[in-house]
Amino acid sequence: MRIAVVGGSGHIGTFLVPRLVRAGHEVINISRGTRTAYAEAAEWQQVRQVVADREQEDAAGAFGDRVAGLKADVVIDLVCFTLESAVALVDRLRGEVGHLLHCGTLWRYGPSHKLPISETTGTAPVGEYGIQKDRIARMLKDETASGGLVTTSLHPGHIVGPGWHPVGPVGNVDPAVWHTLSAGQPLQIPGVGVESMHHVHADDVAHAFEQAVEHRNAAAGEDFNVVAPTALNVRGYAHAAAGWFGQTASLESVTWDEFRRTTTPDQAAVSWEHLYRSHCLTIEKARTLLHYAPRYEPETAVLESVHWLIEHDQLKVARPLVE
């Protein structure tokens, strides 16, 4: 099949595009052309590159025409963030492609009330990003249910992999947290450390998209959680991370007000956004319908990220990894 991937040079596309090529598909990557994939792969030599600025072309009403003009059998949209943009693409592709897949987010769910969260049990989203993604997912389900374009939405957790900083043990991306843990120094955590985060390796997300393409009939009109088999809470994450450096985590519970005084406003805000939601999702639906089989537990996925950052001098730690 001919598959067009919108935003294929990012986290997910780095792994998805080579997967699709290896599966025998003709792949077109639509991106701004400002960066290459995070990891090299020989399969990229077989990929057609199309340079386009999604935001500008959406504003001009031209992006849908560009995608439709590629005559793809399948379109995988990894970088759609507003309902307006999603509706415009659906309207233009209706009758033109066989399957449209959209990348959502676990932030389509608000703060957890019951765990694990299924595709039907999450609370209403909070924050514009999650609200827009939830609206897109619901629109896509309605589109397919009404006999229109065949669509699927997949909703990853906190994506990790080689090449970028993972969401860390206190819910932010502050590199100082890793130095503290590697040095065996006390780490201040807001609350008692039971808030959870649900990570997923980018290649496992890519695997889920590949499975949804392969199992089109099962995926049609559906939405899927795409995360690691288990989730980490703050306390367990910190203990695991300290152990990678041969240390034992020394955790100091503080109030949120105290925590905010020990870090920057931006990092404190990121921690709050992750931890007060306290997400833990079930992947049973994706396992059953898509045969989704993630290879990475959250701690192994994060460790791979940390290892890459240290090797490339992008993360300073007090002691080397002992793994």
pLDDT in tens, 92-131: 999 999 999 999 999 999 999 999 999 999 999 999 999 9
Mean pLDDT, all residues of the chain: 97
pLDDT of residue 212: 98
Q: Which of 31-35, 39-43, 86-90, 163-167 has the lowest mean pLDDT?
A: 31-35
What DSSP element (H or E) covers 48? strand 48-51
pLDDT of residue 312: 96
Q: Which residues lie below 8 Å from residue 77, measured CB to CB, with a gap of 6+?
A: 6, 7, 86, 89, 100, 101, 102, 103
pLDDT of residue 227: 98
pLDDT of residue 33: 81
Contact 109, 117 (CB under 8 A): yes
pLDDT 10s digits, 105-116: 999 999 999 999
pLDDT of residue 323: 66
Average pLDDT value for residue range 130-159? 98
d(C-alpha 274, C-alpha 160), whole Å: 15
* DSSP-derived 3-state class of residue 189: strand
Going by pLDDT thresholds of 50, 70 and 90, the confidence category of residue 88 is very high
pLDDT 10s digits, 1-35: 999 999 999 999 999 999 999 999 999 999 998 77
Calculate the CA dihedral of residues 186, 190, 192, 198 and round it to 10 degrees.
-100
Given the DSSP bridges, would you call strands 186-190 and 199-201 parallel, antiparallel or unpaired? unpaired
Going by pLDDT thresholds of 50, 70 and 90, the confidence category of residue 73 is very high
Going by pLDDT thresholds of 50, 70 and 90, the confidence category of residue 260 is very high
Cα distances from 100 to residues 4, 245, 292, in angstroms, run 10, 44, 19
Q: 247: closest CA among 260, 235, 256, 238?
A: 238
d(C-alpha 102, C-alpha 149), whole Å: 12
pLDDT of residue 276: 97
pLDDT 10s digits, 181-240: 999 999 999 999 999 999 999 999 999 999 999 999 999 999 999 999 999 999 999 999
Task: Assess whether pLDDT exceeds 80 at residue 263.
Answer: yes
Q: How many percent of the chain have pLDDT more than 90? A: 97
**29 phi/psi in degrees, rounded to 5:** -105, 120
Q: Would you give the end-to-end CA distance of the chain in angstroms?
A: 42
* Alpha helix (H) residue ranges in the chain: 11-22, 54-59, 63-68, 83-93, 128-145, 175-183, 202-214, 216-219, 234-244, 256-261, 265-275, 284-290, 298-311
Cis peptide bond upstream of 116, omega within 30: yes
Q: Which residues lie below 8 Å from residue 88, measured CB to CB, with a gap of 6+?
A: 58, 61, 63, 64
Q: 16: closest CA among 306, 199, 214?
A: 214
